[in-house]
Structure 1
Amino acid sequence: MDYNFRCDCPFTSALDIIGDKWILVIIKQMLIEHKQTFKSFVESDEAIATNILSAKLKWLEDFGIVLKTKLITNKKSNIYLLTEKGLALTPLIVELGFWSDQHLREFHPSLVEGVTMDVLRKDKAQFTKNVEQSYREMLAAINTLTHG
């Protein structure tokens, strides 16, 4: 794969990879909502088109952010899992949610409320740890279904 980065700036280079809105939505869906299958992404509220989803999942896979695999109980369907590189984006995703909660409510008053947002507002660091731990627990359970 030919990597065409705009410049040598690490911030811009990161945005070249994960700065697309669909990329961040997919990572959020995997991390927070534990979506794993193509069908579950397509059926989500964000309504990503199948051609865009295919391209973005392949992009994430090419950069080692997502791993495509199969369950031993269902060899027909692919599942998509965040790698360690993908999980390292947890603080960024949480920070985006926190920023949105703090700065977008005036424009989007129906943003989700509830216990989850209360926890995020109270202790962002603990919330981040909880999200990552929950994903790792899901991965451990899936690992037994992908490797026996």
Structure 2
Amino acid sequence: MRKDVRSGCPINLSLEIFGDRWTLLVLRDVMFGGARHFRELLGGPERISSNILADRLAVLVDGGLLTRSGDPAHKQKVTYSLTERAIQLVPVFAQLSAWGVRHLPVGDEFAARAGVLDRGGPRLWEEFMDELREVHLGEGARLRPRPKGRTVRDRMETAYEAALG
């Protein structure tokens, strides 16, 4: 065990990586919002400052939840991608969202998006995880055959836009 960790408890060790709101929100924006670049992440609705964003991205890369690579389309840009470790957090985010919808004053548009994952349950979470694997880990990373119809992200966005009216 690392010397700077106070406990071997799995909850403590997990919180050492993503135990603050900004880290989880950065992961949310990459996972659900499709953000892949620093500027896209900086423009999120919570208005993270650039120094905090840079720090959280470094923590996520060091923690093995994101990878960082040069963007072939723009030499000065860096692209962030989810790792398998991060993709496996989809059920955690789905449950956290469902809890928030049940117990907090969540906006209708966000409740609609969360509702797609909540109603779809573990089968839909797996489908979304496969979509993320394809986007972030490469074409061959999909574990199951692609279901017919729209992607999970498309369904979440349609629900979001419908709730906006």
Q: Could you tell me the TM-score, scaled by structure 2's length?
A: 0.74
Residue 134 of structure 1 is matched in structure 2 by 131
Distance 1:15 1:132 in 2: 22
- Relative distance call for 1:134 and 1:62 in structure 2 (3 A) is same
- Relative distance call for 1:86 and 1:96 in structure 2 (3 A) is same
Distance 2:84 2:115 in 1: 27
Shift of 1:81: 0.7
Mean alpha-carbon deviation: is it higher for 11-20 or for 120-129? 120-129
The 4+ residue runs of structure 1 with deviation greater than 3 A are none
Deviations 1:85-133 (A, max 9, x none): 11121111111111111111xxx2524243x344233222133123213
Aligned with 2:81: secondary structure? strand
Shift of 1:14: 0.8
Distance 1:67 1:18 in 2: 16
Distance 1:127 1:121 in 2: 9
Aligned with 2:99: secondary structure? helix
Alpha-carbon contact 2:101-2:111 (below 8 Å) kept:
no
Residue 43 of structure 2 is matched in structure 1 by 43
Shift of 1:72: 1.8
- Relative distance call for 1:56 and 1:122 in structure 2 (3 A) is same
Shift of 1:138: 2.3
Residue 56 of structure 2 is matched in structure 1 by 56
Structure 2 counterpart of 1:123, from 117, 120, 133: 120
Identical-pair percentage: 25
RMSD (Å), alpha carbons = 1.9
- Corresponding pairs, count: 136
- Relative distance call for 1:120 and 1:73 in structure 2 (3 A) is closer
Q: Could you tell me the TM-score, scaled by structure 1's length?
A: 0.82
